[in-house]
């Protein structure tokens, strides 16, 4: 097992880009290799050692044997875990844009908050965020129609708008509340939101499942009430209590399932 620890010693107001620093590419790097590496910052590159103290311990036969630990405020470090296929990355602080974007395998844990586009177009692996995420978690990128298609994202805090836009597979769990348009354009997959949702989940969804355990402020008209179920088993996930099941979005001939906590959404009965 190889453990690579990068400890922040100088904060950059211009974002550092870490797409090259994943277990897939650095599993056979020595400490000297890291010290010689120049990290992209804007339109140029600077020595990684300008910003981080570096420790490398152990050996790895492949990326699956690598644990990378990023200690400090990474709120100006983008693309952490970008396209990684194996190994483990732990961020002991906040993370900037595109954490876990296009991820294929391995695990990424952020012990803080994360900016927009966490898990963008993710295909596999797992992401866990102990704090909040901003908008477009698990979505497609601007102008694209392929969002998250596999893997698991777990957020212990809140999520911003358009969670899982164009999602076509995988699972997302939000412990807190969520802003507007969760699951918009969804075609497959599973979303579970533990807190309240602002408005309009499942807009133009064609398939997939959304579960809301908190209160929903506004439901789109394109969902048909299919009744109340007690302790429903939804895709092998056992819920406790009464849930209202809706089918939609009928505006696009959708057959998706939207489940709402009946006790917290009595106004919709």
Q: Domain locations in the chain?
A: 2-268
**Cα–Cα dist 19/233, whole Å:** 39
Rounded Cα distance, 50 and 115, in Å: 24
- The verdict on pTM exceeding 0.95 is yes
Q: Round to whole Å and give the CA distance between 259 and 269.
A: 13
For the stretch 58-69, what's the b/e string if a residue is b when 16 or more beta carbons lie within 10 angstroms of its beta carbon? eebeebbbbbbe
Helix (H, G, I), strand (E, B) or coil at 243: strand
Please report, in tens digits, the pLDDT of each residue of the chain (269 residues total).
Answer: 999 999 999 999 999 999 999 999 999 999 999 999 999 999 999 999 999 999 999 999 999 999 999 999 999 999 999 999 999 999 999 999 999 999 999 999 999 999 999 999 999 999 999 999 999 999 998 878 889 999 999 999 999 999 999 999 999 999 999 999 999 999 999 999 999 999 999 999 999 999 999 999 999 999 999 999 999 999 999 999 999 999 999 999 999 999 999 999 988 77
Strands 2-8 and 52-58: antiparallel
Running DSSP on this structure, what letter comes out for residue 260?
E
Q: Of 241, 239, 234, 197, nearest to 219 (Cα)?
A: 197
């Amino acid at each position: 097992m190889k453990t690579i620890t990068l400890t922040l010693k100088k904060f950059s107001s211009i974002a550092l880009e870490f797409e090259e620093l994943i277990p897939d590419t650095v599993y056979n790097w020595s400490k000297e290799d890291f010290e010689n590496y120049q990290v992209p910052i804007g339109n140029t590159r600077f020595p990684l050692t300008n910003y981080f103290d570096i420790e490398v311990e152990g050996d790895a036969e492949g990326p699956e044997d690598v644990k990378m630990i990023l200690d400090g405020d990474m709120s100006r470090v983008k693309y952490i875990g970008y396209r990684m296929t194996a190994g483990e990355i732990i961020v002991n602080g906040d993370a900037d844009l595109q954490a876990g974007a296009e991820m294929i395998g391995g695990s990424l844990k952020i012990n803080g908050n994360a900016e927009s586009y966490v898990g963008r177009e993710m295909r596999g692996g797992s992401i866990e965020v102990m704090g909040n995420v901003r908008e477009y978690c698990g979505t497609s990128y601007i102008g694209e129609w392929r969002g998250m298609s596999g893997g698991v994202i777990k957020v212990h805090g809140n999520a911003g708008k358009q969670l899982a836009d164009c999602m076509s597979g995988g699972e997302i769990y939000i412990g807190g509340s969520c802003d507007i348009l969760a699951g918009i354009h969804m075609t497959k997959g599973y979303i579970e939101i533990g807190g309240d949702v602002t408005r309009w989940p499942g807009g133009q969804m064609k398939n997939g499942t959304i579960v809301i355990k908190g209160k929903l402020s506004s439901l789109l008209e394109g969902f048909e009430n299919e009744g109340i179920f007690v302790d429903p088993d939804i895709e092998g996930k056992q819920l406790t209590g009464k849930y209202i099941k809706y089918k939609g979005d009928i505006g696009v001939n959708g057959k998706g399932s939207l489940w709402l906590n009946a006790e917290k959404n009595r106004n919709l009965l």
